[in-house]
Amino acid sequence: MSTRTLQWSSPRPPYLRAFIAGIAIAFSLPLSTVAETEPSTAARPAEQPSAEDPVAPEAGNTERLGIELNKLEQVDDGCRVYLVFENALGTKLEALQLELILFDTEGFIKRRLTLDAAPIDEDKTSVKLFDLAKTQCEQVGRILINDVLAMAGPDGALPNEASGLALSSKLDVDLFK
């Protein structure tokens, strides 16, 4: 019985090793925590509103959850992320857990984390922040809300689809679903 070695018929793409390493890192990093501090003053000019501005409800849909990426702040060896949540769902959020995927400025997956953003009162805008340990803010290129893992109010579970979120960013870093 002979053993065959699989060989590439063409040179390996230079990005393949980095891509595989990025995937491995994304699924091995620890989960994030939430902390509270003062709101951000850094913002994109008002004349450049996002197409998915959480302040303006979508036509025909007044019940929604708006999430805005408002500020990234370098702290010690980490990056503090400020998110503004606008609860226009018509009920208090007692549970809100999001799965986030961070991409670097070259488009590679940097890490995967879970964010617990509850509670958020009914008809309330709330600032939540969390720290990304061992991350430089200038290395964050995009943030994907990959999934809504849990969303519940006082009467139980709410539809927890990422497609129902109204997302925006005041930064060059994109917040998307």
More confident residue, 10 or 143: 143
CB 130 within 8 A of CB 33: yes
Residue 118 is predicted with a pLDDT of 95
| pLDDT single digits (tens) 37-89 | 333 333 333 334 444 444 444 455 578 999 999 999 999 989 999 999 999 99
More confident residue, 50 or 140: 140
Residue 161 is predicted with a pLDDT of 83
Domain boundaries, the chain: 31-41+62-176
CB 100 within 8 A of CB 144: yes
C-alpha separations of 100 from 4, 96, 117, 123, 156 in Å: 41, 13, 12, 24, 23
Average pLDDT over residues 123-139: 95
CB 141 within 8 A of CB 107: yes
Q: Which range, of 4-8, 103-107, 167-171, averages the lowest pLDDT? A: 4-8
The residue count of the chain comes to 177
More confident residue, 95 or 35: 95
Residue 164 is predicted with a pLDDT of 84
Q: What is the pTM of this model?
A: 0.66
Q: Is the pLDDT of residue 175 over 70?
A: yes
Closest to 76 in 3D by CA, of 129, 136, 142, 130: 136
Give the chain as a DSSP string: --------SSPPPTTHHHHHHHHHHHTTSPPP-EE--PPP-----TTS--TT-TTSPBTTB--EEEEEEEEEEEETTEEEEEEEEEEESSS-BSEEEEEEEEEETTS-EEEEEEEE---B-TTEEEEEEEEETT--GGGEEEEEEEEEEEEEETTEE----GGGEEEEESSSSEEE-
- What is 31-41+62-176's CATH topology? Immunoglobulin-like (2.60.40)
Residue 63 is predicted with a pLDDT of 83
Q: How confident is the model at residue 1 (pLDDT cuts 50, 70, 90)?
A: low
Closest to 165 in 3D by CA, of 65, 95, 91: 65
Average pLDDT over residues 10-29: 44
Residue 9 is predicted with a pLDDT of 45
